[in-house]
């Protein structure tokens, strides 16, 4: 998906994704193929709940011709997809997971090969923006059935919760959602109203896309209203831990 400019890319987050499963192949969505060893080699399940569920984002991370990744639709119980208390390098307020009893959220299981993991780690800024680990919570997958656990990236700074509750991402399907949901544009307008109320939204976004120090300063403002990630069923993995 070509965006006309960086502001459009930021506002489009978390990007369109089909409701069902697909095979990411050569930058496009193709008919799903299961992550069997013969077809795809050894692969590990990584929960994609923000941009990683969309082919447009995967195409930026895996631009090489011939790249293939099975992306399987799944449901995750007891969580919702919410805005993180941080700003990505491309200007969007990205996603994270937050425990939410009674909520069931639609996610993707991104079946990555071990050779593909480093590119994903780099894009998620492991140890700076996100922690990487295993979530010991079952997922109900469209083709694989019940998956007992999966790998996942979780925002280190927690979720943005300006009134004590996270804000869900409105374009992510959920059942039993408890918190208010909003699009990316509303999140950016909220920041702009608090920090630079007289600045046009496009200019506000462009400023922190282009200026890293300004982006960090604005992210620090989000962090003042952060709700920490507290989930006993999540364990951070180190380089020495087996996947």
pTM score = 0.95
Residue 36 has pLDDT above 90, yes or no: no
Residues 113-144: tens digit of each pLDDT: 999 999 999 999 999 999 999 999 999 999 99
pLDDT at 40: 52
In which element (H, E) is residue 185 found?
A: helix 184-195
End-to-end CA distance of the chain: give it in Å, rounded.
Answer: 32
DSSP 100-166: EEEEEEEEEEEEEETTTHHHHHHHTTBTTTEEEEEE---EEETTTEEE--EEEEEETT-EE-TTSS-
- Model confidence band, residue 2 (pLDDT cutoffs 50, 70, 90): confident
**Residue 51 to residue 155: CA distance in whole angstroms:** 14
Instruction: Give backbone dihedrals phi and psi of 146, rounded to 5 degrees, phi first.
Output: -80, 120
Residue pair 109/147 in contact (Cβ under 8 Å)? The answer is yes
Two tokens at 92? 């969007």
CA atoms within 13 A on the CB side of 208: 26
Q: How far is it, in rounded angstroms, from Cα 194 to Cα 135?
A: 35
Task: Give just the sign of the alpha carbon dihedral 136, 139, 141, 147.
Answer: positive
The rounded Cα 200 to chain-centroid distance in angstroms is: 27
73 forms bridges with which residues in the sheet? 108
Q: What is the DSSP letter of 91?
A: S
Distance between CA 234 and CA 170 in Å, rounded?
25
pLDDT for residue 37 is more than 70: no
> Half-sphere exposure (CA, 13 Å, Cβ side) for 68?
14
Instruction: Determine the pLDDT at residue 8.
Output: 97
| pLDDT band (50, 70, 90) for residue 166 | very high
Please name the residue that has the structure tokens 């994270």: 96
Domain 6-236 class in CATH: alpha beta
Beta bridge partners of 44: 112
């Amino acid at each position: 998906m070509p965006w006309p400019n960086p502001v459009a890319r930021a506002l489009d987050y978390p990007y369109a994704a089909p409701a069902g499963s697909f095979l990411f192949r050569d930058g496009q969505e193709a008919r799903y193929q299961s992550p069997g060893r013969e077809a795809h080699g050894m692969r590990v399940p990584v929960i994609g709940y923000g941009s990683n569920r969309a082919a447009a984002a995967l195409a930026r991370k895996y631009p090489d011709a011939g790249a293939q990744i099975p992306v399987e639709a799944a449901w995750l119980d007891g969580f919702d997809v919410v805005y993180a208390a941080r700003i990505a390098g491309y200007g969007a307020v990205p996603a994270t997971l937050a425990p939410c009893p009674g909520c069931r959220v639609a996610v993707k299981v991104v079946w990555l090969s071990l050779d593909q993991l480093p590119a994903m780690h780099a894009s998620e800024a492991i140890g700076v923006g996100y922690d990487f680990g295993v979530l010991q919570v079952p997922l109900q997958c469209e083709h694989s059935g019940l998956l007992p656990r999966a790998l996942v990236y979780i925002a280190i700074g927690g979720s943005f919760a300006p009134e004590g509750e996270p804000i869900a991402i409105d374009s992510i399907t959920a059942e039993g959602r408890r918190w208010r949901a909003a699009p990316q544009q509303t999140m950016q307008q909220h920041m702009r109203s608090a920090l630079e109320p007289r600045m046009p939204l496009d200019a506000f976004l462009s400023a922190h896309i282009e200026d890293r120090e300004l982006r960090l300063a604005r992210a620090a403002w989000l962090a003042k209203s952060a709700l920490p990630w507290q989930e006993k069923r999540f364990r951070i993995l180190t380089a020495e831990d087996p996947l």
